[in-house]
Amino acid sequence: MSARMKSRLEVTGIYAVIAVMFIIIFYPLLWTFGLSLNEGTNLYSSSIIPKNLSFEHYIWLFTDPASNYVTWYKNTLIVAATVSIVATFFVALTAYSFSRYRFRGRKYGIYTFLILQMFPVLMGMVALYILLNTVGLLDSLLGLILIYLGGAIPMNAFLVKGYFDTIPKELDESARIDGAGHFSVLFKIMLPLAKPILAVVALFNFMTPFMDFLLPSIILRSEENFTLALGLFNFVNDQFSNNFTRFAAGSVLIAVPIATVYLLLQRWLISGLTSGATKG
């Protein structure tokens, strides 16, 4: 009897903790959603449950001539798609080389990648800024894409190499005996088998430009080149209380698709990461 009481108390306790966590997690998110439906731009008079439900901020984002929201969305998509495709391709090439070939300098190559992945691209921001300025790529999406690409390679190459290492070597050896060349082993055997980790790499690189604020803030100067993160930050940074409802509306439109993708793929992302990292 007392054991049952104890068990029941424990379960209640656990549910209580979960309930508190639910409130802490949901409150800020619902508050933002509520704000985005408020009339006017005044944070003081806005409330989580709008007195007058209104979509004016959403309409403003898409239709007002002063709004660059659609352009920012387009910029972000361009950067994200390019980075995702090109980075995944380069990463796969690099990982294939490190995983399947034994060549002089291989070990040092791997060490270089391992150590460089610890340095954030940001460490060289002084240099990046001056460098891009000198070659005229400041305030351009191309400059941003190049830097995302360079930063993405070491870390991801290592993840993918770890995954490639788990694919039995006998597979490509037998293909070689059948006359397959370097590239056909890569494209017909390795890449199809490594689809899960490649998808993880592609997805993470696609998401980065949606989430990153810092690099765009260093590189991009004019409003029509902004990515979403930078543009939305300026909504709240210019006059804090004035545009917060508009920021809320813009944020909801990013957060909902991204969160959906993450929640749908979470199991997959986690297993890809753990397998790559622990085996890598």
Partner 1 sequence: MQNERALSHNNKQSRHSVRLAVLLSIIPGAGQWYNRRWIKGTILFLMAAAFIISFFQFISVGLWGLRTLGTIPGLDDSRALIIQGILSLFLIVVGAGFYIFNLVDARQDAVKISEGWILPSVKDAFKNWWDAIFPYALITPGFLLLIFVVVFPLLFMILLAFTNYDRYNAPPGNLLEWVGFENFLNIINVPIWRETFISVLSWTLVWTFVATTLQIILALVLAVFVNDERIKGKKLIRTVFILPWAVPAFVTILIFAALFNDNFGAVNQGIMEPLFGQSVPWLTDPLWSRTALIMIQVWLGFPFVFALFTGVLQSVSKEWYEAADVDGGSKLQKFQFITLPHVLFATAPLLIMQYSFNFNNFNIIYLFNEGGPAVRGQNAGGTDILISWVYELTFQNNMFNMAAAISLIMGLMIAAFAILQFRRTKSFQEEG
Least distance to partner 1, CB of residue 8, Å? 9
Q: How many CA atoms lie within 13 A of 43 on its CB side?
A: 12
Q: Is 62 in the site for partner 1 (CB under 8 A)?
A: no
Distance (Å) of CA 176 to CA 77, 152, 160, 171, 186: 40, 31, 22, 9, 11
Choice from 9, 53, 70, 122 touching partner 1 (CB under 8 A): 122
Q: Is 142 in the site for partner 1 (CB under 8 A)?
A: no
Choice from 146, 190, 219, 220 touching partner 1 (CB under 8 A): 146
Query: Which secondary structure element, helix H or strand E, spans residue 83, and what is its range?
Result: helix 69-100
Amino acid at 42: N
Long-range contacts made by residues 141-145, C-beta under 8 angstroms, separation at least 24? 141/75, 141/78, 141/79, 141/220, 141/225, 143/219, 144/79, 144/209, 144/215, 144/216, 144/219, 144/220, 144/227, 145/79, 145/82, 145/83, 145/86
User: Token pair 């309409």 is at which residue?
Assistant: 59
Residue 242 and residue 172: Cα distance in Å, rounded? 61
Residues 180-199 close enough to bind partner 1 by CB under 8 A: 182
Q: Is 177 in the site for partner 1 (CB under 8 A)?
A: no
Least distance to partner 1, CB of residue 153, Å? 5
Choice from 91, 194, 200, 220 touching partner 1 (CB under 8 A): 91
Choice from 81, 114, 167, 199 touching partner 1 (CB under 8 A): 114
Q: Is 9 in the site for partner 1 (CB under 8 A)?
A: no
Choice from 125, 167, 191, 193 touching partner 1 (CB under 8 A): 125
Query: Of the two residues 17 and 65, which places its CB atom closer to partner 1 in the complex?
Result: 17
Choice from 97, 166, 184, 234 touching partner 1 (CB under 8 A): 97
Size of the site for partner 1 (CB under 8 A): 92
Least distance to partner 1, CB of residue 279, Å? 8
Signed CA dihedral, 95, 97, 102, 103: sign only: negative
Q: Which of 255, 251, 230, 247 is nearest to 75 (CA)?
A: 230
Q: Is 55 in the site for partner 1 (CB under 8 A)?
A: no
Choice from 77, 81, 110, 193 touching partner 1 (CB under 8 A): 110
Q: Which of 247, 209, 235, 212 is nearest to 75 (CA)?
A: 209
Choice from 103, 136, 222, 238 touching partner 1 (CB under 8 A): 103
Q: Is 30 in the site for partner 1 (CB under 8 A)?
A: no
Least distance to partner 1, CB of residue 165, Å? 8
Residue 269 and residue 200: Cα distance in Å, rounded? 6
Residues 207-266 close enough to bind partner 1 by CB under 8 A: 210-214, 218, 229, 232-233, 236, 240-241, 244, 247-248, 251, 254-255, 258-259, 262-263, 266
How many H helices and E strands in the chain?
13, 0
Stretch of 51-59, 95-103, 167-175, 191-199 lying at the interface with partner 1 (CB under 8 A) = 95-103
Query: Of the two residues 16 and 65, which places its CB atom closer to partner 1 in the complex?
Result: 16
**Is 110 buried (19+), middle (13-18) or exposed (0-12) by CB count in 10 A?**
middle
